[in-house]
Structure 1
Amino acid sequence: MPRKVIAIDGPAGAGKSTVAKELAKRLGYDYLDSGALYRAAALKLMTAKLDGDASDDKIMEILKDTHIEFSNGKVYLDRADVSERIRTPETGHYTSVFSTKKVVRDFLQVLQKAVGNTADLVAEGRDMATVVFPNAYRKFFITANEDIRAQRRFNQLNGKVSFTDALKDVRERDKRDSERTVAPLMKAPDAIEIDTSNKDIETVLSEIMRELA
């Protein structure tokens, strides 16, 4: 029997991870944080001393023997829990860099689709509704203005970077995500857009639940 997938896309700092996690909990669905998978892949490539100039062949040479799993809110890279290690600013930077690579996106898309075949799912990321799950049961695009997204990023990193650096990071990510050749960030034509700038989590979830009713 086909599984239901609710696909949630949006830019960095829009709040989609928080929304997706809570929505999955309320619906009794599994939750897929695609960004965590990309961070794990970036961590593996960083550890192998690769950077954004690495060839597709070099990247695939590393990824072909890589095992990445997202389970119960934790991320495993080659069966080691890397949930904390993938959240550093450096890993975030390289995640944005490596996510522009088709070879990386193709590798992870296989993993994501496999998860969607095993359980009802709330999947969040940058291209869940447009590329990975184009036939999703429902689609949402979560956004917010860049200053608020930068403040959320600043708070998330507990002052490890300045607000100015957090804003710069948000702008750079937006540019890379929207301008990349492969699977650029965009709102799916049939996705419902929700701006979280001045809304708390309960308000956003109430809007989504009304759409799902």
Structure 2
Amino acid sequence: MARCTVEHLMRELGVTGAVRGKKVITTIPDASAERAPDLVDRDFVAPAPNRCWVADFIHVTTFAGVVYVAFVVDTFSRRIVGWSAATSKETRLVLDALDMALWQRDRDQQPHQKGELIHHSDAGSQYTSFALAEHLDRAGIAASIGSVGDAYDNALMESTIGLFKTELIKPYRPWKTLSQVELATAEWVDWYCHRRLHGEIGHIPPAEYETKYYHETPGHSHDLESRSNPERFSSR
């Protein structure tokens, strides 16, 4: 079917396609902060879970004001292992997302091993802060920072945030409050990790991909699928 025909039918039906809009800049570097080196160098292929996590946050406009949502993603499986939402983009926002990631892995009995995990982000002031650096150091996680203003240095995280906006934020706006964004994000993350198919990992959900890895790797027998609740977002 010709493109013009599709456009004509969509106009008649009042249907619009899902379009990824322009990115609003949330990365404000702190020139005085000491930056960690870029340990990833745009290579987001990890040999196993808990080897490389990428992090970033975006803003969501609501009737009550701006809400910021931060994510932590495991590059091995594309699984969102941690997230947080707040009305302030202070360092606490990204610390809470990191804490959830650490808690989630501990709960699943697959904690990271000190010295094996890299936490990669852009050069925003939240990610170059002393508080985050200290938090990572205590957890035995190596900090990695990409260059300023280059989305390719955190491309996998940019892709995840793009899906979040395209699949949840834009279709269901306007948003009213922080609590509404939090509830919807929790449902979307659950669906994204347990139901959404990802072409980069063989057209299966991230949780299933990790389960497959642990079942096929000697020394790992924990079934992550048994902890999933895949129906929450599908009922939305």
TM-score by length of 2: 0.24
The structure in which a higher percent of residues are helix is 1
Which is greater in Rg?
2
